[in-house]
Chains A and B, each alone.
Chain A
Amino acid sequence: DGGITQSPKYLFRKEGQNVTLSCEQNLNHDAMYWYRQDPGQGLRLIYYSQIVNDFQKGDIAEGYSVSREKKESFPLTVTSAQKNPTAFYLCASSIGGVPGNQPQHFGDGTRLSIL
């Protein structure tokens, strides 16, 4: 079945530690996205990538980093500079390209907590 796989489902971070969240898709989508979801808030865009080896900052990129070395993979690193990392992290993908008006499809998220 085609889809988006996020791992791990739950992750704990110690103070001063960087952690990496995995996102893999087998939908052959060009565009991939990372969102953060906090209770009572909508999804906020962290980073997005329209094509391999290229990515752009979203609305809340500070304290996060990404890479896009392969079309199917878009890992997110939560660095120690992110002072409030506890949240539900969602990865999404879409066909992208032109006209690029296709909707985004989401993985089942990673819940990150601070130890």
Chain B
Amino acid sequence: QKEVEQDPGPLSVPEGAIVSLNCTYSNSAFQYFMWYRQYSRKGPELLMYTYSSGNKEDGRFTAQVDKSSKYISLFIRDSQPSDSATYLCAMRAGANSKLTFGKGITLSVRP
């Protein structure tokens, strides 16, 4: 089993839809969780950064971590065509341990 599994996609939704992106993981030591957004031919851009379990909201984006189920999610409300990108989850155990990334899921929001 891979350390981090991410839904493979691609995912296509109409504008205004609520989008749910998910990652599962096997390493119970992971405690720092990130979501990155990557536009085509660009580097990943940090969207959300959370520590341990719980929810974090930033505008239309909500990150959710359930450590008991080893499951993290990113919700996008009122999705826009500008949200069309690849979304990568990433996580690590300790403060100085390496990041482990999911493979990414490509989201397309149709006008």
A residues sitting closer than 8 Å to B (CB atoms) are 4, 6, 40-43, 45, 48, 50, 58-59, 90, 92, 96, 98-101, 103-109, 111
In angstroms, how far is the closest chain A Cβ from the Cβ of B17? 25
Q: Which of A40, A42, A98, A109 is within 8 Å of B43, CB to CB?
A: A109
| A99, B98: Cβ atoms closer than 8 Å | no
- What are 22 A-B contacts with C-beta separation under 8 Å? A4-B43, A6-B43, A41-B103, A42-B100, A42-B102, A42-B103, A42-B104, A43-B88, A43-B99, A45-B98, A50-B96, A59-B98, A90-B43, A92-B43, A98-B95, A100-B95, A100-B96, A101-B32, A101-B51, A105-B46, A106-B45, A109-B43
| A43, B101: Cβ atoms closer than 8 Å | yes
B36 cross-chain contacts in A, Cβ below 8 A: 106
Tell me whether A106 and B99 are in contact in the complex, defined as CB-CB below 8 angstroms, given that A42-B4, A43-B88, A101-B32 are known contacts: no
Tell me whether A107 and B4 are in contact in the complex, defined as CB-CB below 8 angstroms, given that A42-B101, A50-B96 are known contacts: no
Query: Which secondary structure characterizes the binding site on chain A?
Result: loop
Query: Which secondary structure characterizes the binding site on chain B?
Result: strand
In angstroms, how far is the closest chain A Cβ from the Cβ of B101? 4
B residues sitting closer than 8 Å to A (CB atoms) are 4, 6, 32, 34, 36, 41-46, 49, 51, 88, 90, 95-96, 98-104
A106 vs B47: C-alpha distance when bound (angstroms): 12
In angstroms, how far is the closest chain A Cβ from the Cβ of B38? 8
B88 cross-chain contacts in A, Cβ below 8 A: 42-43
B32 cross-chain contacts in A, Cβ below 8 A: 101
